[in-house]
Amino acid sequence: MIDAAKENTEAIGLGEDYFKGKELTADSNYHSTASLEKCVTEGIDAYIPDPNFRKRDPRFKNQGRYKPKKKRKLFKLEDFVYDQASESYICPGGERLTIRARHAKIRFKVYKRYGAPEGVCLKCKLRRCCMPSPTAKRKFLAIDLGWPAEDLIGKMVEKIDSEKGKERYERRLAIIEPVFANIRTHKRLDRFTLRGQPKVNVQWLIFCMIHNIDKIVNFGSGFA
């Protein structure tokens, strides 16, 4: 996306360093180490939230009110007793979970992972209160060790959770989402009517041009 945007800006006479120092906001689907490394290389001030940022933001605390409630209450980490001498956890059923990995990377973060012996969880009477899935074969515990010191992911999480990060991402919601709403609802492009990528690309670009012309007509008079 950045490379394509640079091609467009260079085509109209802007230099290749045009994006240096500029702010970029993108939704959580773009959140990855590769994306953040690209922004650092290009000198772009990026704001790209991780998939769990809404869970940490108090403004979204009621977002799950329409979701069906889980009927089962599963055991939490505090229900497991830590045995420091053997570096293991004792589950509510009396089984011992031993260490399986000291630095397991799960969704960008680092965890210490403990697991129960194979087979013991299949016959446990507390299985329903412990296993997140009926088909799970044994219990695992993941202890959060935080972000690697050099990891760009952790730095971006801190940036998004800051007051400036929240303000910048809130602006993105008001700038980007209405574009798709306008093209789909007001311009009636709720599906492509042509087949083949070349034809679909042309149809999409025509609707983008119509959207941009509409913006110029309504809001561009002050820049003439």
The per-residue pLDDT for range 23-48, each reduced to its tens digit, is: 999 999 998 888 999 999 999 999 99
Q: Please state, in angstroms and rounded to a whole number, the distance separating the CA atoms of residues 222 and 216.
A: 10
- Are 96 and 90 in contact by the 8 Å Cβ rule? The answer is yes
112 within 8 A of 103, measured Cβ to Cβ:
yes
pLDDT tens digit string along 84-105? Answer: 999 999 999 999 999 999 888 7
Euclidean distance between the first and the last CA atom of the chain, given in angstroms as a whole number: 29
pLDDT digits 0-9 by tens, 38-83: 999 999 999 999 888 888 888 777 776 666 666 668 899 999 999 9
Q: What is the pLDDT of residue 70?
A: 63
Q: 144, 109 in Cβ contact below 8 A?
A: yes
- In the predicted structure, residue 223 carries a pLDDT above the cut 60: no
The strands making up 96-106's β-sheet, listed across from edge to edge, are 81-83, 88-90, 96-106, 109-115, 140-144
DSSP 24-43: EE--GGG-SHHHHHHHHHHT
The pLDDT of residue 155 is above 70:
yes
